[in-house]
């Protein structure tokens, strides 16, 4: 083989290896993509970066955040929640920017006594204003296996999904004066912490520390944004940018909200005696 051909072959092999490394990194690795924010050894990254566990004991909870900020995109995370008597604990998984006018998109899982369902609490903050809570019970036990919790965030809407089933949609209604989070980059955060002053039955049920440590587990993080790539196909990578709900998606959303929603701020007339927020007066789909 000529020296020129050898150089060309080396370059091709080098480019292939570099491309393969980039693809592996973009698939989601907790070592590469996240920093532990508190809790010390209570937060552990395992299996070469493919698994992360958070622990809560009587002294401290634990948490992590993404190294990168994201502005619009689709974010998927598989989570297995605290099992057994999880009363008083909260596992939070959310996107947030910083500052007094921050934006935020929340999943929060409120623990409960053994045998009772978790409460999945969702909220959307835009320009520092939240108070847009919707709460659900899930149609499965989220402690027995990993389930996928996703946020699709584009310029038209935010879709909350559980195992790819839509449970909530928050539309961009800036045309009627409702602020929409689309200008502030956000990081991904998660934490496991004690909130027994309010989390379970309004704080009536306290954390049973004899059950500690409590553990939540995370795997299969994926992100698709305009500024990052993933190992998904190009079609999958860009699908989130215009993603809405088709007829089947609207039916699934209706099923979840009719069967499993336990609180909707848009139905709480006592809370808003002067009238429901403007977005509540528009179609939920």
Q: Is 104 a catalytic residue?
A: yes
- Between CA 235 and CA 220 the distance in angstroms is 20
Question: What contacts 36, CB < 8 A, 6 or more positions away?
Answer: 43, 45, 62, 63, 64
Bond from prior residue into 65 cis (ω within 30 degrees of 0): no
Residue 179 pairs in a beta bridge with: none
Phi, psi of 239 (to 5 degrees): -60, -35
Q: Is 133 a catalytic residue?
A: no
- Between CA 200 and CA 109 the distance in angstroms is 10
What six digits make up the tokens of 137? 């019970």
Contact indicator for 87, 245 with CB cutoff of 8 Å:
no
The catalytically annotated residue of 41, 104, 236, 279 is 104
Cβ-in-10-Å burial (0-12, 13-18, 19+) of 67 comes to exposed
- Between CA 29 and CA 6 the distance in angstroms is 34
Question: What contacts 261, CB < 8 A, 6 or more positions away?
Answer: 134, 135, 136
- Residue 273's alpha-carbon distances to 14, 177, 269, 277, in angstroms, are 66, 20, 6, 10
The catalytically annotated residue of 69, 108, 133, 174 is 108
Kindly list the catalytic residues.
Answer: 104, 108
């Amino acid at each position: 083989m000529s020296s020129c051909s050898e150089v060309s072959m080396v370059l091709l092999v080098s480019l292939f290896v570099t491309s393969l490394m980039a693809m592996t990194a973009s698939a989601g690795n907790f070592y590469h993509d996240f920093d532990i924010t508190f809790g010390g050894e209570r937060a552990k990254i395992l299996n070469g970066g493919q698994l992360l566990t958070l622990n809560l004991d009587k002294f401290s909870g634990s948490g992590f955040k993404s190294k990168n900020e994201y502005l619009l995109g689709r974010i998927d995370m598989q989570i297995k929640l605290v099992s057994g008597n999880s009363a008083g604990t909260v596992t939070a998984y959310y996107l947030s920017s910083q500052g007094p006018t921050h934006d935020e998109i929340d999943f929060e899982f409120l623990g409960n006594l053994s045998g009772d369902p978790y409460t999945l609490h969702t909220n959307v903050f835009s320009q520092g204003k939240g108070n847009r809570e919707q709460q659900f019970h899930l149609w499965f036990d989220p402690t027995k296996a990993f389930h996928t919790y996703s946020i699709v965030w584009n310029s038209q809407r935010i879709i909350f999904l559980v195992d790819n089933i839509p449970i909530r949609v928050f539309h961009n209604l800036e045309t009627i004066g409702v602020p929409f989070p689309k200008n502030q980059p956000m990081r991904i955060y998660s934490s496991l912490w004690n909130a027994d002053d309010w989390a379970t039955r309004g704080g009536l049920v306290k954390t049973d520390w004899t059950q500690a440590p409590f553990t939540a587990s995370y795997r299969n993080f994926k992100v698709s944004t305009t500024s990052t790539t993933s190992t998904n196909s190009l079609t999958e990578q860009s699908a989130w940018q215009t993603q809405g709900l088709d007829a089947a998606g609207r039916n699934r959303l209706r099923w979840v909200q009719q069967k499993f929603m336990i609180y909707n701020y848009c139905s709480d007339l006592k809370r808003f005696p002067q009238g429901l927020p403007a977005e509540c007066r528009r179609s939920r789909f």
